[in-house]
Amino acid sequence: MNATDLAYVRYQTPDLSRLETFLLDFGMHPAVPRDGKRLLMRGSGAAPVIYEAVLGGEPRFLGAGLQMASRADLEALAGLPGSSLVEPVTELPGGGERVRMRMPDGFEIDALYGAAPAQSLHLPQAGDFNAAAAKPRRNMPVRVARQTQPVLRLGHFVLHVSDHDSSVAWLRERFGLIASDYLAVPGEAERIIGSFLRMDAGEAWVDHHCMLVLQAPVVGVHHCSFEMDGLDAVMCAHDHLLERGYTLDCGVGRHLLGSQIFDYWRDPFGFRIEHYTDGDVVNHLHRPGVFAGTADETTQWGAKPPLDFFT
Ligand SMILES: [Fe+2]
């Protein structure tokens, strides 16, 4: 059984309208008009939904959906303990079918297959950065605006779990996720507490991680992260979000593991949400490493995360 991509993250929120305003400023679009119970947002790529929120009392992370390689994968997952049957997806644009499951700490994880792709709203631009070795942008000035910039896709999310090994085994068994790199207790490389997990696509290039699973005292989401179309988009969105009065959590900087240029914000309910660009892609030739350094060393340049980023 193999997942091929992330589909969406799902949250519960006490105020759909307030969350929608933030996500519009963050660069998403309504996938369908919001009703009184549910908010469905898309990016500018082909995924019909990348962020779902349902109305409820407390702000809470509920779970996520992953695209599977085949319908046979859904049938196999439906046969496992704790899984739903294969059921039609009726409330999301794109439709398709799914199997609902729960991870060891109770996160709702959906396996999906057969959803119709959405029409892309923005075509990413390639090769317009004039580096020292190659200057592909010719007779063409850079002109960008401090305004909302399109979010292209859901890139990854990070879970704090009560038992790292059992959560990773669960994701390996059901979705075929494999580790690109490991996190260990600082100075104790044999004590693994985190795994950067990716889709297993063999020779094909995939993001260094679609998920980070991290052992932590409090279970929940750390952040979810969305890909932007280059550094200008990240920086213009940064200025725009500041002008709109939102709370900057940490940015801009470049991570060590995965190498993304990152920019973390807090949504109106306190959840971290990230814009990123220029992340690593890897294939079967990549060999996982163990990082046992300090929190400070996880940023190569730029803003150092605040202390509460690591709790
Ligand atoms: Fe991230």
- pLDDT, tens only, 227-286: 999 999 999 999 999 999 999 999 999 999 999 999 999 999 999 999 999 999 999 999
**Range of weakest confidence among 125-129, 195-199, 289-293:** 125-129
pLDDT at position 170: 98
Mean pLDDT over 126-141 rounds to 88
Q: What is the DSSP string of 132-184?
A: SS-----S------SS---EEEEEEEEEEES-HHHHHHHHHHHH--EEEEEEE
**Contact status, residue 51 vs residue 28, Cβ threshold 8 Å:** yes
Q: Write down the mean pLDDT value for the chain.
A: 96
CB of 112 closer than 8 Å to CB of 101 = no
In the reported structure, the alpha carbon of residue 89 is separated from the centroid of ligand 1 by a whole-number distance in angstroms of 28
**Percent of the chain scoring above 90 in pLDDT:** 91
| pLDDT at position 215 | 96
- Locate the domains of the chain by residue range: 3-117+150-310
What's the pLDDT at 308? 87
In the reported structure, the alpha carbon of residue 223 is separated from the centroid of ligand 1 by a whole-number distance in angstroms of 7
CA of 155 to the centre of ligand 1 (A): 8
9, 157 in Cβ contact below 8 A? Answer: yes
pLDDT higher than threshold 80 for residue 125: no
Q: How far is the CA of 276 from the centre of ligand 1 (A)?
A: 8
Cut 0.85: pTM above it = yes
Q: Which two tokens stand for residue 305?
A: 């995360």
- Whether 124 has a pLDDT exceeding 90, the answer reads no
Phi/psi for 307 (5° steps) reads -55, -40
Could you tell me the distance, in angstroms and rounded to a whole number, from the CA of residue 26 to the centre of ligand 1? 15
Backbone φ and ψ of 20, nearest 5°: -60, -45
pLDDT in tens, 18-46: 999 999 999 999 999 989 999 999 999 99
pLDDT digit string, tens, across residues 142-172:
988 899 999 999 999 999 999 999 999 999 9
For residue 97, pLDDT over 90 is answered with yes
Q: Which fold has domain 3-117+150-310?
A: 2,3-Dihydroxybiphenyl 1,2-Dioxygenase; domain 1 (3.10.180)
pLDDT at 127: 66
pLDDT in tens, 219-235: 999 999 999 999 999 99
In the sheet that holds 97-102, the strands lie side by side as: 29-30, 38-42, 51-55, 3-13, 60-68, 108-113, 97-102, 87-88
CA 204 to ligand 1 center in whole angstroms: 22
**Contact at 8 Å (CB) between 103 and 167?**
yes
Distances (CA, A) of 130 to 4, 123, 133, 224: 33, 20, 8, 31
Give the pLDDT score at 37.
Answer: 96
